[in-house]
Chain A
């Protein structure tokens, strides 16, 4: 199986405020039938992320069975490399981003055991690939052996390792200190848009160190991301984008400040981003849909408590029931 993450086939109906669950399920299921489109092949470097986005969206929509469990496991394992890490698709190099997606997918369908049975060396091997990417001097993480450093990789490492129960493989205290060094006086983190805040707060949350965050100040910065149309932007004076519903919203939820914004208006904006004919969500109303915005739009709606959706965990971006099961084991 190879779920594509290409753009949607467009529809043109006027946006409305109903959630078209079955349309979205159908949209995600059909993503894999588009091998006759060049875009399918040009986006192969995102395939494993695409499976995570599509599958999580289906879980949120209450249709987890819409993708075959066996085929999913088979595809995930076909992306694993000898070093224990995962690439975006078979034959692609191992990288933190895809390794995290692989772990999240396997946790979601309760198939981590398959790593021992059919994978290359079990979960310990996956954990040591991830741990090997930590810079032991400053605590940061690289994406792969070629050296790019970013808090996205640090968060990803914490996410996957904690799900696997292997946090002891890394220096958590140093990583936490690294995240702290990214904090700005305006209460936000790093030079980058709101998505970066999520990675820092998510990492601190997994490490149990949210006490280090100035919640009122960060909450103020994040809540100012909501603009009059209801949607969130990533930086001051930028256009809104449905994916920030997740990045900004989950960060607010982690610091107990989600009520500082107008959830109804935000949900209204996201619902306008739906393609009510063909299914899927776009970045803004009337734009082309894709599986990335479909996933993050739905995750955002779930966070806001929209009826008919499964609850999402703001730290892991997995269904709450999955996270609960994983940590109960």
Chain B
């Protein structure tokens, strides 16, 4: 379907031999497909059927109906193995699930962005929760950390990987004690920090971190002072990251942090109970810090956007826009209009609101 990033090439006329080979491949593929459909129609859910299904999925992992067939066959095998977790017979089901998880590894390695494989894997792990004793199920879910860690090392911006990681963490929290859950949030927070350290422009990692901070503070029932400490740490981290002011990901995280000082959004942020005086002090400090970055990066539009954002927030907290601040905003805006011609009319719209 969607061929992403494949260079266009002139088609070479196929020799009769090559054409014959392609037709043979089509023939083989279709006969395998027909064999699988036939077995499914006959409700022939044997080990051999599973083998044929595997063969077909190895050739075409995007064929979602075949993944559904696989689920049906696996369910049949599970019920044969005895499908109750409290019996002592969960061993055969465990083995079936383990084998199937193994089958998926090379496919995920070759097709890390194929939705259907990830979905099937999650289904299988949910089956583990249904069929196995809790410690067994938990162990399987825990092992997913290694897998997703490896995937994210290979491609730290694969959003399937990040989404999957979030699901694994959520499930493990449900399967463990509250203390374990809290420890896990902390560990994930550090993981996101490590990934950001490795690549500052990792938008997914920054995004993940935003969500984790919130959860961490809530789980710890953090006091307002503790929340303020976290905020200070985040601000200092982002200031370090802004050493490269041309990186957009970092500025989005900065903008995210600023919502702490916005009376409209503060209650959804890490430090909801700051006083207006505190908010104003923070914002003035931000404006000062950001102005220091301008030197040597005069052509960096993000700096002016952030300065404007902070100053608009000042007026929101204070209840009115001082004429001094207004003049400042207008001068930054005139820089922006020059530096950012693509979004010219956005800046004109904004000017109208002043």
Interface string of B215-253 (1 = CB under 8 A from A): 000000000000000000000000000000001110010
Kindly list chain A residues whose C-beta atoms are within 8 Å of the C-beta of B203: 235-237
Kindly list chain B residues whose C-beta atoms are within 8 Å of the C-beta of A88: 64-65
Which A144-162 residues sit within 8 Å CB-CB of chain B? 144, 146-148
Q: Is A93 an interface residue (CB 8 A)?
A: yes
Q: A185-B259, A223-B346 are in contact. Are A10 and B252 (CB under 8 A)?
A: no
Most buried by A among B4, B166, B341: B4
Establish whether residues B2 and A9, one from each chain, have CB atoms under 8 Å apart when the complex forms.
no
A228 and B248 alpha carbons, distance in the complex (Å): 13
Kindly list chain B residues whose C-beta atoms are within 8 Å of the C-beta of A42: 29, 59-60, 62
Specify which of A11, A144, A186 is in contact with B8 (CB 8 Å cutoff): A11
Q: A41-B26, A45-B64, A185-B210 are in contact. Are A288 and B8 (CB under 8 A)?
A: yes
Establish whether residues A38 and B252, one from each chain, have CB atoms under 8 Å apart when the complex forms.
no
Interface string of B271-300 (1 = CB under 8 A from A): 000000000000000000000000000000
Kindly list chain B residues whose C-beta atoms are within 8 Å of the C-beta of A38: 22, 25-26, 29
Interface string of B1-13 (1 = CB under 8 A from A): 1111111111100
Count of chain A residues near B, Cβ 8 A: 65
Q: Is A325 an interface residue (CB 8 A)?
A: no
Q: How far is the CB of B14 from chain A (nearest CB, A)?
A: 9
Establish whether residues A184 and B60, one from each chain, have CB atoms under 8 Å apart when the complex forms.
no
Nearest residue (CB) in B for A230 is B342
Most buried by A among B25, B166, B203, B269: B203
Interface string of A32-64 (1 = CB under 8 A from B): 000011100111111001100000000000000
Establish whether residues A290 and B268, one from each chain, have CB atoms under 8 Å apart when the complex forms.
no
Q: A9-B11, A191-B163 are in contact. Are A287 and B6 (CB under 8 A)?
A: yes
Establish whether residues B4 and A283, one from each chain, have CB atoms under 8 Å apart when the complex forms.
yes
Q: A10-B11, A288-B3 are in contact. Are A45 and B63 (CB under 8 A)?
A: yes
Kindly list chain A residues whose C-beta atoms are within 8 Å of the C-beta of B60: 42, 45
A259 and B252 alpha carbons, distance in the complex (Å): 22
Nearest residue (CB) in A for B251 is A236
A257 and B166 alpha carbons, distance in the complex (Å): 32
Establish whether residues A36 and B22, one from each chain, have CB atoms under 8 Å apart when the complex forms.
yes
Q: Is B139 an interface residue (CB 8 A)?
A: no
Which A12-48 residues sit within 8 Å CB-CB of chain B? 12, 36-38, 41-46
Q: Is A193 an interface residue (CB 8 A)?
A: yes
Establish whether residues A287 and B29, one from each chain, have CB atoms under 8 Å apart when the complex forms.
no
Nearest residue (CB) in A for B260 is A185
Q: Is A262 an interface residue (CB 8 A)?
A: yes
Q: Is B46 an interface residue (CB 8 A)?
A: no
Most buried by B among A38, A88, A93: A38
Establish whether residues A220 and B8, one from each chain, have CB atoms under 8 Å apart when the complex forms.
no
Q: Is A116 an interface residue (CB 8 A)?
A: no
Kindly list chain A residues whose C-beta atoms are within 8 Å of the C-beta of B210: 184-185
Kindly list chain A residues whose C-beta atoms are within 8 Å of the C-beta of B252: 186, 221, 236
Establish whether residues A186 and B342, one from each chain, have CB atoms under 8 Å apart when the complex forms.
no
- Sample (9) of A-B pairs whose CB atoms are under 8 Å apart: A10-B9, A38-B22, A41-B29, A46-B1, A184-B210, A235-B159, A257-B346, A260-B349, A290-B2
With A11-B8, A184-B256 known, 8 other A-B pairs at CB within 8 A are: A36-B23, A43-B1, A50-B1, A146-B71, A223-B343, A228-B342, A287-B6, A288-B8
- B→A interface (CB under 8 Å): 1-11, 19, 22-23, 25-26, 29-30, 37, 59-60, 62-65, 68, 71, 115, 119, 122-123, 126, 157, 159, 162-163, 166, 201, 203-204, 207-208, 210, 247-249, 252, 255-256, 259, 265, 268-269, 341-346, 349
